[in-house]
Amino acid sequence: MKTILKIAVPAPVATCFDYLPPEPDPGPPLRPGCRVRVPFGRTTRIGILLRTDSDSAVDPRRLRPVLEVLDTEPLFGSDDLRLLEWASRYYHHPIGEVTVGALPTPLRQGRPARVKHKQRLRLTPAGREALAAVKSPRQAALLRLLQHQGGVVKTEALGGLDWNWRPVAKTLAEKGFLRLENAGNEPTATPPDPPPAINPDQRRAADSITPHLGHFAAFLLEGVTGSGKTEVYLSVIERILAQKRQVLVLLPEIALTPQLKRRFERRLPVPVGVYHSGLSDGERTQSWLKFRSGEIPLLLGTRSAVFVPMARPGLIVVDEEHDPSFKQQEGFRFSARDVAVIRARILGIPVILGSATPSLESLHNARSGRYHHLRLPHRAGNARPPRLHLQDIRRQKLRAGLAPATCERIEATLARGEQVLLFLNRRGFAPTLMCHDCGWVADCRRCDTRLVVHRRDGRLRCHHCGHERAIPETCPACGSGSLLPLGQGTERVEAELSERFPGARLARIDRDVVRRKGNLETVVEQVHAGEIDILLGTQMLAKGHHFPDVTLVVVLDADAGLYSVDFRAPERMAQLIVQVAGRAGRADKPGRVIIQTRHPEHPLLAALLGSGYPDFAAQALEERRQAQLPPFSHQALIRAEAHRLQSPLDFLEQVASLAKHLEPRLEILGPVPAPMPKRAGRHRAQLLIQGDRREPLHRLLDRLLPRIGELPGSRVRWSLDVDPLDLY
Ligand code: ADP
Ligand code: ZN
Ligand code: ZN
C-alpha cells in the first residue's frame, strides 16, 4: 500500500496537493505539521504536511515525491491544523495559503525554525578567586571585564571587542571560572506592582470565569470605559500562569501593545512576548517559536497572532472585541475575534471578549446564551462617568465646524486650566474643493469620489487610490479664481482652533501626522504631562488611551453615521462616541461630552444619550432583527472588478443565476454596482448572498465557488468575503 502525503501548498487552489514520500525513504514516519519542500510546476514551494493517506484521486504514477523535509518537530500541532483547516473551510480560502500564511515570513521561505537565546556570561566564585593567578592575557582580560561589570555581562555587549571572546570563554567555562547562561526572557528585575484592591463587580466577573478554567466557555465582558476590565483579565491571567499555562491576548492595534505590555510586565512575574507587523521578521519568528515552545507564557498580538501555536493553552483574551480591525479586509478575510472563539473551543479553554461597546454580534451571542454575559457597569475607583449633551447645529453659524456654544465651552474649560479633546473622523483640510462660480468639484479621475484638500502640502489627494495633484489656483472648468474648500477635516479645525485660542497648546493626531512624525506615543505622554491643552484627532484617539485630565470632549460631527448606506454605520458611530467620551474625566473632575448634530431627535442618538450604549444596542439589535440583517442572518459578499464598465456586472449576473439554480431558498441580492462604483480605475460590482442559517449558505458556497472559476470573464477579478463587515 502506498503512502500518499496530503500537503498544503500556497496556491489559489482550494484543496491540498498529493505527493509521495521523499526518496530515498528517510526512515522515521513523516509527522503532520512539518514543513516540506515540494516540486511545483517547474519550481519548488514550501508546504505543510497535513496528514498521510493511502489513496489519491490522482493517478499515483503522476505523483511526485517530496524533495526535502525541513522540520523534525512539527511546527503546527494537530489542534493548530484543525483550526487552520476550519478557517480555510469557513472562509473558503485555499488551505495552502491559510496554513503557510500562518507562519512568519522567514519560516514561510523555509528558514530553519530555531529558537535563538540571548546569552550572558556569569563570573563564578572560583573565577573571582582565580583572577590574580590567570596567566593568559585574554582570559585575564575577560575575567576582569566581568568583575568590573558586577559579575554578569550580556554576550551582545561583547560584540565590541576586537578579539574573539568565544573560545576564551569556553576555556574559562571548562575551568569553572565562568558560566554561559541563557538570558532572553526573564521578567523585569523589579518586583511586580501590587494590584489595586479589586472591587465587587470585578471580583464577581473574575469569579464567574475561574470555575471554567480548563474547558471551553466564552465570556463577553461588557464594562464601561475605565471600569477596570484589564484588572479582571489580570486576575484571571494570574491563575492561568500559576497553573503553568499560556495566555494569548489579542488587541486591535499595534499602537496599543507597548502600553499594555508595560502594564502586564509591571504586574505579572513572567516575560511578555509581542507579535505584530511592526516587528522585524526575526523578532516575529522568535516570538512565534517561543510561544509555540511554551517559553513565552503570555503573548500580546494583533489579529495574525490568533494562529500562533501554543504549547500549554490556558486562555484567550480579545480586548476591544468590537473593533473592525480584527477583520482582515483583503486576501484571507478572516475575523480574528471569531477565529479566537473557535480556537478556544478546539483547545478546550475559556475565551474572554472584552469591550465597553460590544459588537451587536457578540451581544446577540450573549443574549442567546452562547456566551456568558459579565458586566462592569461602573467606573473603577471613584471616577464618575462623563455627561453627554447634544449640540443642535442647525441654523448655527459654524466656524470650521465649531458651533459658537461649543467654542464658549472650550474657552471656559481652557480658562480653568483643563484639557479639551476634539474628535473628527476626517483627516485633511477639507473633503472637497468646489468652484463658487460654476459648481465644478475636484473629483478623482480614477474613483467615484472627491479629492480631499490637504492645504499644508498644497495637494489634492484621493483617500481611496492615492492619486494626487497640486491644488489648482483657478477653476479648471471656468477659470474663476474663487475655489472654496468645502466641509472640514482635522487640518482645517486645527487652523481654526489655533486662531481662536492662540494661547492654547494644540496637538493633532491623525494618519497624516503620525505618518510624518510617528509620534502617537510622544503626544499621548505630553497630554499626560499636561503639556497639551487641546488634543484634536481622528478615531486613532478613540482607542485605548485614558486622558484623566481631559474634562471636555467634543464630537464634531455625529451625523455621518446616522444616514449611511452601510447598515453598520450607526453601530460604529455609537461605539466611536462612547469610546471617545470614555477617554475623559476622573473622580474629582468628571468629563462633559458635546455631540454636535443636525439630527438631535434621531432615535438612536436619543437612546445613546438617554441610557447609554446597552439601550442603544438593544434598539439597534431590534432594528436588525426586523430587517433580517446580521446577526439575525448570515452574509457572504462576492466582489468583482474590471476595467470595463459592464463586465463585473455581467460576470456577477452569471454567478447569481448559478447560485439561484444551486440553492433557490437563499436570498441572492444583486448584482449591483459597489457603493463606490469605480475605484482606482476599476469598475466594481457586488453580489450579496444571505440566509438565516449558516449551513445552507456554506453548502452553496462549497458548490458555487468551483463553478465560478469556470465562468467566462477572465478579465474580472473577484473575491469572496464571508461575514463581511464593510460593504465597500
Ligand atoms: P478599562 O480597560 O475597563 O477601560 P482599566 O482596567 O484600564 O479599565 O482601568 C481604568 C483605570 O482604573 C486604571 O487606571 C486602573 O488602574 C484603575 N482601576 C482599575 N480597577 C481598579 C480598582 N479596583 N480600584 C481602583 N482603581 C482601579
Ligand atoms: Zn468654475
Ligand atoms: Zn482615487
Read off the pLDDT of residues 266-324 as tens digits, 9 standing for 90 and up.
999 899 999 999 899 999 999 999 999 999 999 999 999 999 999 999 999 999 999 99
Cell of 409: 465651552
CA–CA distances in Å: residue 495 to residues 277, 500, 506, 594 = 34, 9, 10, 20
Say if residue 217's pLDDT is above 70. yes
* Test site for ligand 1: of 201, 230, 231, most ligand atoms within 8 A of the Cβ: 231
Nearest CA to ligand 1 atom 19: 228
What is residue 117's predicted lDDT score, i.e. its pLDDT? 81
Nearest CA to ligand 1 atom 15: 228
CA of 221 to the centre of ligand 3 (A): 40
**Ligand at shortest distance from the CA of 251:** 1
CA of 401 to the centre of ligand 2 (A): 25
With 0-12 CB in 10 A as exposed, 13-18 as middle and 19+ as buried, what is 52? middle
Atom of ligand 1 nearest to the CA of 230: 6
**Please, what is the average pLDDT of the chain?**
90
Q: Tell me the one-letter amino acid at 570.
A: P
Cell of 641: 472588478
* Test site for ligand 1: of 222, 224, 230, 353, most ligand atoms within 8 A of the Cβ: 230
Nearest CA to ligand 1 atom 5: 228
Say if residue 186's pLDDT is above 60. no
Cis previous bond, 24, omega within 30: yes
CB 464: neighbour CB atoms within 10 A? 17
Q: Tell me the one-letter amino acid at 89.
A: R
Looking at per-residue pLDDT, the higher value among 544 and 11 belongs to 11
Cis previous bond, 671, omega within 30: yes
Atom of ligand 1 nearest to the CA of 319: 2
What residues does ligand 1 touch, defined as CB less than 6 Å away? 196-199, 202, 223, 225-231, 380-381
Say if residue 365's pLDDT is above 90. yes
Sign of the alpha-carbon dihedral angle for 50, 53, 56, 61:
positive
Report residue 728's pLDDT band, with 50, 70 and 90 as the boundaries. low
Q: For residues 130 and 653, what is the distance between their CA atoms, to the nearest angstrom?
A: 86
pLDDT tens digits for 420-477? Answer: 999 998 999 999 999 999 999 999 999 999 999 999 999 999 999 999 999 999 999 9
Q: Could you tell me which residues are beta bridge partners of residue 63?
A: none
CA of 231 to the centre of ligand 1 (A): 6
Q: Could you tell me which residues are beta bridge partners of residue 301?
A: 250, 275
CA of 229 to the centre of ligand 1 (A): 7
Looking at per-residue pLDDT, the higher value among 161 and 4 belongs to 4
User: pTM, whole model, 2 decimals?
Assistant: 0.89
Report residue 609's pLDDT band, with 50, 70 and 90 as the boundaries. confident
What is residue 554's predicted lDDT score, i.e. its pLDDT? 94
**Ligand at shortest distance from the CA of 582:** 1
Atom of ligand 1 nearest to the CA of 198: 23
**Ligand at shortest distance from the CA of 197:** 1
**Ligand at shortest distance from the CA of 469:** 3
Report residue 705's pLDDT band, with 50, 70 and 90 as the boundaries. very high
What is residue 558's predicted lDDT score, i.e. its pLDDT? 85
Q: For residues 571 and 517, what is the distance between their CA atoms, to the nearest angstrom?
A: 32
Cell of 135: 596567566
Eight-state DSSP code of residue 667: E
Q: Tell me the one-letter amino acid at 541.
A: L
CA of 196 to the centre of ligand 1 (A): 8
Contact between 59 and 20 (Cβ < 8 Å): no
Report residue 188's pLDDT band, with 50, 70 and 90 as the boundaries. low
Say if residue 226's pLDDT is above 90. no
CA of 323 to the centre of ligand 3 (A): 26
Atom of ligand 1 nearest to the CA of 225: 4
Nearest CA to ligand 1 atom 9: 228
CA of 541 to the centre of ligand 1 (A): 19
Q: Tell me the one-letter amino acid at 164.
A: N
What is residue 483's predicted lDDT score, i.e. its pLDDT? 95
CA of 135 to the centre of ligand 1 (A): 60
The pLDDT > 70 percentage for the chain reads 96
Say if residue 211's pLDDT is above 60. yes
**Ligand at shortest distance from the CA of 450:** 3
CA of 591 to the centre of ligand 1 (A): 17
